[in-house]
């Protein structure tokens, strides 16, 4: 251990005083998952909104399925995908809300779920606003730590350069 420690002592100066920004890591880890999505529990508001969205989505889907139909989603709205020839069958109970890009299918929204779909869209808008708020809060925290993060980056670049030189020297 002694000789190795002596050989590495020049490197120890680089790493001894490194801060790891533990609080920033904790805050980001609590709010952002491993897939870079904002966690449901990132804020009480977001948790509540996502809960409401889940309940309402299940209600809308159950109502459409209850009529013997297979629901799909078009632009965030629960609807039915039908062939153009089927439109007359749905004219009295559904609202035409769009068509597939290929042109072969139409999307119709049952009138019985329009209000719930509107509520769902409003909740999703609120969810997006809350996600943006959370991201701005994290951005602010990162900004506060920016000088330390830049210093850490510079130390890592120096260490990487030293390791690269050492590997090159060993390989020659």
| 84-125 pLDDT, tens digit each | 999 999 999 999 999 988 879 999 999 999 999 999 999 999
32 CB-near residues (< 8 Å, 6+ apart):
38, 39, 42, 138
What pLDDT, on the 0 to 100 scale, is given for residue 9? 63
Q: How far apart are alpha carbons 9 and 29 in whole angstroms? A: 33
In a domain, 152, yes or no: no
CB contact at 8 A, 142 and 32: no
Decide: helix, strand or coil at residue 77. Answer: strand
Query: Partners of 81 in the beta sheet?
Result: 107
C-alpha triplet 32, 37, 42: angle, nearest 5°: 45
In a domain, 44, yes or no: yes
Residues of the chain with pLDDT under 50: none
Q: How far apart are alpha carbons 62 and 68 in whole angstroms? A: 10
What pLDDT, on the 0 to 100 scale, is given for residue 163? 87
Q: Residue 129: which CATH number?
A: 1.10.1420.10
In a domain, 72, yes or no: yes
Exposed e or buried b per residue across 86-115, where buried means at least 16 C-beta atoms within 10 angstroms of its C-beta:
eeeebeeebeebeeeeeeebbbbbbeebee
In a domain, 58, yes or no: yes
What pLDDT, on the 0 to 100 scale, is given for residue 162? 87
Q: Which two tokens stand for residue 156?
A: 């890592």
What pLDDT, on the 0 to 100 scale, is given for residue 96? 95
Exposed e or buried b per residue across 13-31, where buried means at least 16 C-beta atoms within 10 angstroms of its C-beta:
eeeeeeeebeebeebeeeb
Q: Calculate the CA dihedral of residues 95, 99, 105, 111 and round it to 10 degrees.
A: -10
What pLDDT, on the 0 to 100 scale, is given for residue 20? 74
Q: How far apart are alpha carbons 7 and 22 in whole angstroms? A: 29
In a domain, 154, yes or no: no
In a domain, 10, yes or no: no
What pLDDT, on the 0 to 100 scale, is given for residue 16? 65
Inter-helix orientation angle 22-31/114-144, to 10°: 170
In a domain, 125, yes or no: yes
pTM of structure: 0.79
Range of the domain at 32: 22-144
Number of independent structural domains in the chain: 1
């Amino acid at each position: 251990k002694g000789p190795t420690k002596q050989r590495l002592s020049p490197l120890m100066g680089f790493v001894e005083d490194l801060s790891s920004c533990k609080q920033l890591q904790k805050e980001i880890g609590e709010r952002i998952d491993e897939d870079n999505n904002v966690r449901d529990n990132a804020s009480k508001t977001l948790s509540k909104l996502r809960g409401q969205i889940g309940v309402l989505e299940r209600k809308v889907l159950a109502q459409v399925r209850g009529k013997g139909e297979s629901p799909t989603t078009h632009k965030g709205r629960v609807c039915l995908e039908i062939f153009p020839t089927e439109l007359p069958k749905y004219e009295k109970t559904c609202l035409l809300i769009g068509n597939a890009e290929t042109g072969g299918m139409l999307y119709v929204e049952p009138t019985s779920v329009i209000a719930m779909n509107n509520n769902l869209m409003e909740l999703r808008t609120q969810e997006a606003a809350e996600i943006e708020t959370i991201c701005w809060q994290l951005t602010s925290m990162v900004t506060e730590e920016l000088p330390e993060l830049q210093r850490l980056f510079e130390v890592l670049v120096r260490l990487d350069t030293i390791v690269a030189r050492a590997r090159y020297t060993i390989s020659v």
